[in-house]
Amino acid sequence: MSAAWVAGTTRARALARRRLGPGGARRVAAAGSAARAAAVLAETPYGHDVRMGQDLAEIQHAVQACLLWHLRVLAGWLPAEGQVMVRLLARWFEIANVDEVLGGGPARFRLGALGTAAPRPAAVTGPAGERAVRAAPFDGEPGGAPPRRIQLGMRLSWAHEVYGRIRPAAAWAAGAAALLVARERLLDGRPIEGADRRRAEAMLGVAAPRAGTLPGMAAALPSAARWALAGLDRPQDLWRAEGRWWERVERDGTALLAGPGFGASPVLGAVAVLAADARRVCLAGAVAAYGGDPDEAAYEGDPGEPPAGGNPASYGGDPAPYRGDPAPYGGGSGDAGHGGGHDEPA
């Protein structure tokens, strides 16, 4: 075991101790307004980015930006292979940047050395950025793909790469792909075609993406993905599965983090629990702003009713939505390539 893995694992465990957990999320949710929630969060580790007076959208973006910052710090302590893993896991932020540009806005997250070459058109903002993203070749096809196709393709591509390259996260990726395909096919009534279909079939088998009902899809899934849809009868209940997906990621991440020794597994566990905590805090901020039971924000598992009587996607609650999803932290400098021993983000 290299010194860089020892240092990186130690840093990962230290960062994981900075999360608020269900009790902290409950305090945020009980604040009673977005402004008071911001005041609570400003006194926690999320205060790296959360500021007094922020509204709900600003709070949720700041929580996500703080997560990205933590990932960049962590990458700076890891050896090269660890940086590759964290860079792949952080791709959510690149996808979120492309989503923003497709909507005509600016790319909001600075990934530093965690960025890849894939969504470089997102560096151009405003209408020109949207045109550049839509005109760029995608999945080997000519430019001009519609935004929905780009967004679905990026998410399935990300899930497929995690599935193939990070073994302990394969079930998370397969479960997320099952949710994506179920939403696209059975809730929105859109076909899965081309490279999207090939990636989905590589993770889910040939039959499941073609099933006409949710129970039929669940029955056709391999065991690595079947858990994500278990017990659901209607596409309208997919939001329940999304909450359950996050519960599984957090539970598995906690076990990986608590394992003995040093290496990729506890680092992956730290990333998982940090992301789950950020998602929970975003939900807590929404409960504070819109009202609801503070215990909903601390809930771990399959809730009985939609949170705060609303669409769970509005809370950033699903694992792979087309906008607003939970995951994670921006700013600073540093060279992830050196792998070791600083608290400047990569």
In tens, the pLDDT along 273-305 reads 999 999 999 999 999 999 888 887 766 544 444
pLDDT at 336: 31
In tens, the pLDDT along 82-104 reads 999 999 999 999 999 988 888 88
pLDDT at 22: 93
In tens, the pLDDT along 166-195 reads 999 999 999 999 999 999 999 998 989 899
Q: Which of 265, 260, 214 is nearest to 241 (CA)?
A: 214
pLDDT > 90: percent of the chain: 63
In the structure encoding, which two tokens stand for residue 80, read together?
């090269």
In tens, the pLDDT along 15-31 reads 999 999 999 999 999 99
Rounded Cα distance between 38 and 285, Å, is 8
Cut 0.85: pTM above it: no
Question: Would you say 63 and 277 are in contact if contact means Cβ atoms under 8 Å apart?
Answer: no
Q: What are phi and psi of 188, to 5 degrees?
A: -100, -10
Question: Would you say 316 and 60 are in contact if contact means Cβ atoms under 8 Å apart?
Answer: yes
In tens, the pLDDT along 189-244 reads 898 989 999 999 999 999 999 999 999 999 999 999 999 999 899 998 898 899 99
- DSSP 8-state secondary structure symbol assigned to residue 105: S
In the structure encoding, which two tokens stand for residue 288, read together?
């504070």
CA atoms within 13 A on the CB side of 219: 7
pLDDT > 70: percent of the chain: 77
